Structure 1
């Protein structure tokens, strides 16, 4: 019996493997990862781990002994090369072949690279995705050094906050007119831009990168910008988004969505009845569209849904997305998915400095961003999960108690 094979040992893959055992499956389970480490948390990498506030062993999703205790064969440092759907085998780059009865693809995503023509391959240019990435860049975070962050998404903003906290001189550039352009309203983006500038980040919106240039030693030393004087830099962090690791699926003839993710149905099934997908690499149907959700919540819950489908107990996975971001002393909590809104309601929280922005499409609440406002976040999340919407005008009244809405 070949059993269940899971390619990708991140949050989704680890969740799926554990769920197979929790649901009573007693056949072979093999969890394969291309990194040398056991499955670990990624969100703390650009925050507490980089700050030195979280030890490496605390990153692990489960103690390594868990896998042996639950008869899960954990294979690390093994990169898949191809899938033979007819033979139901996976071939790895070292030549090994592994048979499967059912296969799950939880291959995740990777950072978009800065093109080599712009200097993206120079020593001293980093991305944040893996433990190895952060370990490689950690020695660069020394007080007084000059860091350029390219990209004003959450990864770039979190890394900028960490760097300033450690005493570095930080410039962050975003080519789009504002930071967080794809994921947040102008009100939330403006609030965080003001926060970063107040804490010492030289944040420049609407400024693109022309190229990075090396110094005499070959390391990156200067950034030429689309406008303004060139910047002398000691190192560069690139955070310009991620792309799904879907090449293995595409080469095997599985359909990809326009966004690049592996197409699955609501039960995490691909067009091949023996192959499933979950996590950052999967494109799922949601509210009349196809989306990829890059979040811990989705990786865990979709991994569990994929496990149910692999055991012929399919359930329709209908997530209510939630996310978070830690920057300086601010915790941003997000519920829902901000798309196609036509009104933003701003509401102060009950504690000093707390604030929330509520996204409406017509009279329908579709998302909330809460800055240091856990009550606003939890209330909004409950309403979204229940399919309820408060009256926007009543919500905009700071004197109205959330409980009465």
Structure 2
């Protein structure tokens, strides 16, 4: 999940249509990924009821969540189509690619939205392209100096796999910041077809053409994603990021890196040769959590128009947060139930598979809580919450405490983090007071 962050409270606000005599709130709106600087200001001579202004935004969050989930299928389809080359390299190669690419995608999406809002999609695409070009250069240097035990005997294959993964994540990031998700989904259909062909290989026979066509499909969709930069005369004006943008980008960098490390920890701690129990809950949770977070941010922003004063707005936010917490409880409950059920199974392999399911379910819930806090401009808290599980999992073996194994420890840490995240979401539901709050009450 790469959810475009919301606008901070210090950012310039968009023009709003409001009733002539109604009071205004002092909190600036949150910007969700389907509302990034593309809503034209309404003409002042045509006043309309307050609720009608937010109706399209309220209806669009499901459509935006669906398009983003379809966009996220592109990296998954590339990974499925490249299953055979991935099996030929050691596990540090895909994990290092995920770490570099996912961290860069989070940070560049956050800062790229600010660049797009100030300087247009061309400048945002150029910013994303420059960032991923730097990451690609770093990957080439790492492959060049890494020992054979980490990259395997085929350095060229490891280099191509890493560049392909980084290129795919760069495509998704560019689509998010330039608001071209739907077009990139259409151009990604060849990658989906190649993935389907690779998955159907045991039934229809060997398809060696997949390995030859996949790099071409990645390049084609990559060129389309960065079309604003490649078109003549589409240079766009340059812009400098503010210190607040850089801090938020650093927070998202920590979030992305921590999430990638968590994925690697749960994957390596799981049963050898079995990854389906780990990935299945994540795949099922992403669409639901995308819709839930989109609904939450949309309702919080809509409250700026539907409430009459600051006290009503805070009450509205608390109600929306309560509903959101109820929606985030099922992953925690299901994950804990699966973890408890795993200890009742007699077979060790079956127990490990159920624990893998529990880990994937709890991991999806932790991701959702983290993104929700970041979308509510609580980036520092979200980064701290995301970085806590990897640090605790690494420090646990050093402590004089009994351990049941890497996978049970990881599941226990994820459960504790999920519960702590729910409490943090509840405690941070209260909007920050402002200096002019007394003058805005009715």
Please give the TM-score of this superposition, normalised by the length of structure 2.
0.27
Please give the TM-score of this superposition, normalised by the length of structure 1.
0.29
Q: Which structure shows the higher strand fraction?
A: 1
Q: Which has the higher contact order (CA 8 A, sep 6+)?
A: 2
